Amino acid sequence: MNWLKHLFASIAHIFQSPRLATVATTIENLVPLAVPIVQDIAALTPNKTVQQVAAAYQKYGVPLAQGLGSSSGPVAIGNALLNLATEVLQKNHAPTAAVSLLNTAVQLALVGLKSVS
| pLDDT tens for each residue of 63-106 | 887 767 776 788 989 999 999 999 999 999 999 999 999 999 99
Q: Residue 30: which H helix or E strand, with range?
A: helix 18-44
| pTM exceeding the 0.85 threshold for the entire prediction | no
Cα separations (Å) of 11 from 5, 14, 21, 112?
10, 6, 11, 18
- At 114 the pLDDT is 84
Query: What's the sign of the alpha-carbon dihedral 107, 109, 111, 117?
Result: negative
Percent of the chain with pLDDT over 70: 90
For 75, counting Cβ atoms within 10 Å of its Cβ (0-12 exposed, 13-18 middle, 19+ buried), the class is: exposed
